[in-house]
Structure 1
Amino acid sequence: MSNSSSISPFLLLALADTRQLQLLHFCLFLGISLAALLGNGLIISAGACGQHLHSPMFFFLLSLALTDLGSICTTVPKAMHNSLWGTRHISYSACAAQVFLFVFFMGVEVSLLTIMCYDRYVSICKALHYGTLLGSRACAHMAAAAWASAFLYALMHTANTFSLPLGQGNALGQFFCEIPHIFKLSCSKSRLRELGLIAVSACLLFGCFVFIVFSYVQIFRAVLRIPSEQGWHKAFSTCLPHLAVLSLFLSSAMFAHLKPPSISSPSLDVALSVLYSVVPPALNPLIYSLRNQELRDALRKMMTGFFQQQ
């Protein structure tokens, strides 16, 4: 990032004013991060140990768990450190790394949620062709495409954002480095490139949204034609967790970035960013494990075997 001589070599992150609130934030982030680490770690362990879980759906679920772990480890540790020690500083290099990793993991998450929607569509609407359309090679290619495209997307955003000169201070109204807040500090004449990337991002997100809506319309039409109540239950038990995760992630992220300026405030911005960046990684394992019998059985078997060995 191009720096003027009047600007400190550090950015200042948002932090609560009183020591009691700082400690409360630390405890809140600690609880959420421990829940995310435990839940996603259990899903990864169950998927690695359970041979019957080596299916496309669980392959993508494992990828989502790894993404959630990376996402929460990108933003929360620095926020916990600042809350515990009462500091607000983050260096430009650390901020750039945080922006890159956050955009990368968010890009992977959106891609994986879209791919998982396709998995649900094929399993219900084209069940006879499931093994052909979602073989091991096809799943590996889709996962690799999700990670590679998110890497390039994050690299472009980070390089473009940190090439903009700061001209309006260095205080971010957020607990982690987020592009819109860095964007507010840049000089107005340098914003056209970032606006172009934001437009591309909006088009990509809208394309994913349209694909997901279209897929679920087809899924629910197919489910309503199933004659047995047991078939309904099985179909909804696989679709509802994905819909819940998707709704929480997309609704909070869209509202955070598209809300009217009249209702914007620093505290609301921080609360919304927690909803889409910190809460989903902790809730995703809980949502999937509660609604999936195979995953619950694998976790139970793994925990039983562990305690028997002890």
Structure 2
Amino acid sequence: MERDNSTPVAEFVLLGLPNQTIAHTILFAMIVLIFIASLSGNSLLLFLIYVNSTLHTPMYFFLCQLSFMDICQITAVVPKILVSFVTRKNVISLAGCGAQIFFTLTMGGAECLLLAVMSYDRYVAICSPLQYSAIMSRRLCLTMSAGVWLGAFLDAFLQTVSVMYLPFCRSNVVNHLFCEVPVLMKLSCSDISVYETVLFVLGILLLLIPSSVILASYIRILSAILRMCSAEGRRKAFSTCSSHLTVVGLFYGAAIFMYMRPSSYHSPEQDRIVSVFYTIVAPIVNPLIYSLRNRDVLAALRKLGASRRPGTSYGYGGP
């Protein structure tokens, strides 16, 4: 069906969180708490890395970007959900919907690529510790970071333009918490096979290839860890790697389940649950995993707390 034969859609109605039941009110309160905790945890992690010169290493440079992505990801989604629940106005404009899709895809795609970069960083640190500083130079870190953001931007731009060009003539009611590509594609009355193919190819580039890089890196890392003579060295390496793999499993699992399936296999209930994992749950899990299981971050936090006591002074290095 041609676009000109369909009725243009100027806005969408997000069903979001129904506010008639106690259960949804409790869920609303939980989302508020998660939102506040995520912003606080990621902001604190950014601050600790900024003020503590001992954390100015490639690993924490990438971790800073992960925290920034999590802040932007949850901010692009949760405030609209909360406002809609309170005001009972679930309408979002076409431009607003496109902006929400673009920002969530940019941050999600950037996190996919960044996790692969972080796995390479851990591979070099564990498998080639003597050459780590030379290999993970400032120039290489900046180049990989630029590649992460450029790749995420291009992916988000292509997907956003593709889905916004579709004619939405079936309905403007989005049975979801926020605007997302697979959900909107189901509202189109045109043939979406080409768009599904584009989405699948982009999913391979942003999900399957990076996850393969992560898998290959950790196979090499595991092999190197098992050859270590020091039990303490093995314990520390396992601790660091298990933290990263926990984040990878949570994020990639949900994203692949959402974006690598045909639209005919999607259900509103599944989409809502899966989307919550990588847009709301992941941003709070990341700082908890990387801080509570990281002795360097915990030491920096204790040092910061001690420096706030009267009569105590600690020198922090700048960035």
TM range (shorter): over 0.9
Q: For residues 228 and 3 of structure 1, do their structure 2 counterparts lie closer, same or farther at Cα, with a shift above 3 Å needed? A: farther
Find the partner of 2:64 among 62, 75, 79.
62
Q: For residues 82 and 3 of structure 1, do their structure 2 counterparts lie closer, same or farther at Cα, with a shift above 3 Å needed? A: farther
Amino acid at match of 2:299: D
SS at the partner of 1:185? coil
Q: 1:57, 1:119 within 8 Å by CA — same for their partners in 2?
A: yes
Task: Give the deviation of 1:200 after TM superposition.
Answer: 1.6
Task: Give the deviation of 1:263 after TM superposition.
Answer: 8.5
Match of 2:117 in 1: 115
Question: For 1:152 and 1:309, how far apart are their aligned partners in 2?
Answer: 52
Matches within 5 A, 1:87-166: 87-166=89-168
Task: Give the deviation of 1:149 after TM superposition.
Answer: 1.4
Question: For 1:91 and 1:21, how far apart are their aligned partners in 2?
Answer: 28
Amino acid at match of 1:221: S
Q: For residues 291 and 91 of structure 1, do their structure 2 counterparts lie closer, same or farther at Cα, with a shift above 3 Å needed? A: same
Task: Give the deviation of 1:77 after TM superposition.
Answer: 0.4
Cα deviation digits, residues 23-51 of structure 1 (max 9, x gap): 33321211111111011001100010000
Question: For 1:91 and 1:246, how far apart are their aligned partners in 2?
Answer: 33
**Higher share of residues assigned helix:** 1
Match of 1:9 in 2: 10
Q: 5+ residue gaps in structure 2?
A: 313-319
SS at the partner of 2:40? helix
Question: For 2:64 and 2:111, how far apart are their aligned partners in 1?
Answer: 12
Provide TM-score, normalisation by structure 2.
0.90
Amino acid at match of 2:166: L
Range 254-263 or range 226-235, more displaced: 254-263
Amino acid at match of 1:12: V
Amino acid at match of 1:90: I
Provide TM-score, normalisation by structure 1.
0.92
SS at the partner of 1:43? helix
Amino acid at match of 1:182: L
Question: For 2:175 and 2:5, how far apart are their aligned partners in 1?
Answer: 20
Match of 1:194 in 2: 195
**CA RMSD, 1 decimal:** 2.2
Q: 5+ residue gaps in structure 1?
A: none
Task: Give the deviation of 1:19 after TM superposition.
Answer: 4.8
Q: 2:185, 2:263 within 8 Å by CA — same for their partners in 1?
A: no
Q: 2:105, 2:156 within 8 Å by CA — same for their partners in 1?
A: yes
Match of 1:169 in 2: 171
Q: For residues 150 and 288 of structure 1, do their structure 2 counterparts lie closer, same or farther at Cα, with a shift above 3 Å needed? A: same
Q: 1:26, 1:84 within 8 Å by CA — same for their partners in 2?
A: no
Find the partner of 1:234 among 236, 242, 253.
236
Q: For residues 8 and 208 of structure 1, do their structure 2 counterparts lie closer, same or farther at Cα, with a shift above 3 Å needed? A: closer
Aligned-pair identity (%): 36
Find the partner of 2:220 among 214, 218, 221.
218
Cα deviation digits, residues 246-280 of structure 1 (max 9, x gap): 11111222234457999864333212210121100
Amino acid at match of 2:47: S
